[in-house]
Structure 1
Amino acid sequence: MADHDVATRAPESDAQEAPSAPVGQSIFPGDTPAQAGPTMGDHCTTDRPTPTGEIPTGELAKLGGVDVYVTKPADYPHAPSKLLLLLTGGTGYKSTNNQLQADKYAGEGYLVVMPDQFDNDPAPNSVDMTQLSQDASWLDSIKLKTAEGMKAFMIDMWLARHTPEKVLPLLHKVVEGAKEEFADAVSNGGGIYGVGYCFGAKYILQLAGEHPDTVAWGQEAPKDEEQGTVKKAPVIKAGAIAHGTMVTKEDLEAVKVPVYIAAVKDDPLFPEDEVLTPGRRAMEKNNVEHEIQVFPGVPHGFAVLGDYDDPKIKQSQAQAFGEMLGWIQSH
């Protein structure tokens, strides 16, 4: 069986597509038409099986009035650390897999803050998509199709509740709270680092960009061109993302700090022709340090911590973590 087949057949696939907007439109106002079509998949709404025997070691807390998961190096604060902002997919900060992922970065010397960017409203759980048996009734088939449609509808409604206008203000509260609570880690790292997966990848890119002041804080761009000309500097000093969703070429065009991008080959959720390639050209033109690595034969969402039967996906998951960690370590 070819690698591509492995990556797209159940049960390994995390790339179930759910259309979120009419053709030519985006769930986010102002985004390019390239973002119409598939927007979220099962990778963002359902965790993979948790690796056996692993238990999160961090704690739930609040920063800037926002719920967060915080995990620290074992020798902190006796040894210096650096602050890392980790933004998740739709499963959110209470996901065991996401917490374990944060712990892995903490094990490498980072004080990790993983915020509840969904304000206690994580993505709807995926319905059971188990294959019907050969003797399943016609009614069972209808029920399955109805469940699929209902899941897509629920995800669309959820996405409509979590736009940049809602998410960015929460993130800025967390950043300001972290600067106060963990000033030593921010100072030691010379700023804040960021990593993002799936839904969270878009927002790491936005925090890595230079935007009009209002837009940077999750507000609409001013109608009057004479207003809002002051640009907000990037919030993070370097970032690394994996298989972003809802990313636009404008997000990449605005990036001003070093970024690493782990992408999936032929990924409809992060299209190469409409988003990745023009974004790469823009970063080259703007002299922004960047690296884009495309992983073939894996499903969208492969880099999110979770168990797979396929050894190739497991290997790619470990490789992506190593590349993302190496990028922020080198910056």
Structure 2
Amino acid sequence: MADNDIATRAPESDAQEKPAEAAAVQSVFPGDTPAQAGPSMGDHCTTDRPAPTGEKPSGDVSKLGGVDCYITKPSDYPHSPSKLLLLLTGGTGYKSANNQLQADKYASEGYLVVMPDQFDNDPAPNSVDMAEVQADTSWLESIKLKTAEGIKSFMIDMWLARHTPEKVLPLLHKVVEGAKEEFADAVASGGGIYGVGYCFGAKYIVILAGEQPDTVAWGQTQPKDEEQGSAKKAPVLKAGAIAHATMLTKEDLEGVKSPVYIAAVKDDPLCSEDEVLTPGRRAMENNKVEHEIQVFSGVPHGFAVLGDYDDAKIKQSQAQAFGQMLGWIQSH
């Protein structure tokens, strides 16, 4: 594929994102190394692009398992069979028009899409818009801007500290159980649940595609008898596809059991090739897990999330990533 590096297929190769100079921060996820933590979240994870002109979301908001969800369905559902797709967003959350339009695109391809409020009505703080900063900014204004950037970074770090796996995973399980009951026909039609995730949500699609300990990360109690070990939960997802993950760790990839497609950005500081993707790929190869990792170059982190861009290459890559992610879940 033009301009993109594709890392083999089932077992596959590595991937990454767009360069950006940023100091490493301490991860809010226990067990992450500083190298894995890297910059915590970028502007593309927390701020929407302008929505495509003239497009309006067509789904509705309702509750599943007591959690608000944006739910969008194929136009001919329930008269024609549909498959259930769990869509997890970046920090902008389920109320974002772009995220809702993204869900609608999958619905138009025959999926009943459930996009939950995985942040419990607490989406990421909006990033400070630096686009209008002029080259002749005064010294005082520069100080103010740097202060604003520092505050933004602090707010995002505090937000991440509120949304750890211990908080997010139990919420997602409520949604999944609610969806299994409410849309049993779609689950049966697809032979399980499919998942796609972007930025923050990508990590959780990977976790739900894995065999995970039935412990505190799932909102449950750590077993007292360590010799017995902890029970394992089978993968929630039949197959998953993600784009430009943030906060992903090699341990997340080591646990994967279901087929996974990863769209990454070359030299992405938010998803290290050396510390996350390469060891994760090797683990999936050793575990004989079907996977594909595709690297997109010359695009920013967040490029695959629906939004209006002037750059033709970004538009092309966005469409290509959607096609690859859709194709992956369709083929599984």
Q: Normalization by structure 2: what TM-score?
A: 0.91
Relative to structure 1, the CA distance from residue 14 to residue 281 in structure 2 (aligned partners, 3 Å threshold; closer, same or farther) is closer
Conservation of the 8 A alpha-carbon contact between 2:18 and 2:268: no
Conservation of the 8 A alpha-carbon contact between 2:194 and 2:240: yes
CA distance in 2, matches of 1:232, 1:147: 43
Structure 1 vs Structure 2: percent identity of aligned residues?
84
Deviations 1:193-252 (A, max 9, x none): 000000000000000000111156245754742244321100000000001000000000
2:239 match: 238
1:109 match: 110
- Quote how far apart the aligned CAs of 1:39 are: 1.6
SS at match of 2:320: helix
Conservation of the 8 A alpha-carbon contact between 1:14 and 1:42: no
2:91 match: 90
2:174 match: 173
Deviations 1:26-48 (A, max 9, x none): 21012234323202001111001
Is there any run of 5+ residues in structure 1 with no aligned partner, and where? 4-12
Q: Which amino acid is 2:283 matched to?
A: A
Q: Which amino acid is 2:78 matched to?
A: P
CA distance in 1, matches of 2:113, 2:19: 28
CA distance in 2, matches of 1:210, 1:117: 21
1:29 match: 30
- Quote how far apart the aligned CAs of 1:287 are: 0.4
- Quote how far apart the aligned CAs of 1:15 are: 7.6
Aligned residues: 317
1:142 match: 143
* Equivalences for residues 213-228 of structure 1 within 5 A: 213-215=214-216, 217-219=218-220, 222=223, 224-228=225-229
* Equivalences for residues 1-331 of structure 1 within 5 A: 21-22=25-26, 26-215=27-216, 217-219=218-220, 222=223, 224-331=225-332
Deviations 1:64-104 (A, max 9, x none): 00000000000000000000000000000000000000000
Greater shift, 223-232 or 120-129, is seen at: 223-232
CA RMSD of aligned residues (A): 1.8
SS at match of 2:304: coil
CA distance in 2, matches of 1:246, 1:15: 16
Conservation of the 8 A alpha-carbon contact between 2:25 and 2:34: no
CA distance in 2, matches of 1:187, 1:99: 24
Q: Which amino acid is 2:324 matched to?
A: E
CA distance in 2, matches of 1:223, 1:279: 30
CA distance in 1, matches of 2:19, 2:59: 29
SS at match of 2:289: coil
CA distance in 1, matches of 2:115, 2:70: 5
